[in-house]
Chains A and B, each alone.
Chain A
Amino acid sequence: QKEVEQNSGPLSVPEGAIASLNCTYSDRGSQSFFWYRQYSGKSPELIMFIYSNGDKEDGRFTAQLNKASQYVSLLIRDSQPSDSATYLCALWGYSSASKIIFGSGTRLSIRP
């Protein structure tokens, strides 16, 4: 089982709708969780991090964490064409030897 699993997509969402990106992880000792956005040919950009159960909102983005279910998600409200990118889920924990563990990413496409 991979440490961080994401659906590779592509996930196609109409402009203005809510895009929902999901991620599951295997290590219950994971402490912090991150969502990165990566445009083609560019390096990843940190969008949000979360380390407590529940929701964390930042503008159009909401991260959700459920440690009991080992599940983290990212919701993008009012999706825009500029949101089209690959979204990487990542985690850090004491058992990961101070390394960030990345998922393989989900390609999101926002159609006008």
Chain B
Amino acid sequence: GAVVSQHPSWVICKSGTSVKIECRSLDFQATTMFWYRQFPKQSLMLMATSNEGSKATYEQGVEKDKFLINHASLTLSTLTVTSAHPEDSSFYICSAPEGGASYEQYFGPGTRLTVT
């Protein structure tokens, strides 16, 4: 299957600072990538769809000014959590479809964010 990487795998930051998370498709091009957030013992929550060359599409209730998404190239999308607060502490996961009729999604390994 396709490989998606994320960096960093975990990060601790102080309240009020910003954190950038990178998502890369390693062996395929992705015009679309997805960003999810997952709290403990809960399912994935789609935050936004990242579109190469255009603005991201945010899900209802997700603050676009707080969670900045940039899809700089066909293999890289970044999520920046601005002015992070403890309630932003979560597991952030990106995914990318390899394409084709089946629309298989491949997930990155995730980034554990802890805001102190």
Q: Which residues of A contact B (CB under 8 A)?
A: 31-32, 34, 36, 41-46, 49, 51, 88, 90, 92, 98-100, 102-105
Contacts and interface: CB of A to CB of B under 8 A. Distances in A.
Q: What band does the interface of chain B fall in when counting residues whose beta carbon is under 8 Å from A?
A: 20 to 34
A46 B1 contact: yes
B49 A99 contact: yes
A98 B32 CA distance: 9
7 contacts: A44-B44, A88-B44, A98-B32, A98-B49, A100-B95, A100-B105, A102-B43
A43 B69 CA distance: 20
A93 to B, nearest CB: 9
B103 A44 contact: no
Contact of A104 (B1, B43, B49, B112): B43
A49 B107 contact: no
Given A51-B102, A99-B34, A100-B34, A45 B107 contact: yes
A88 B42 CA distance: 11
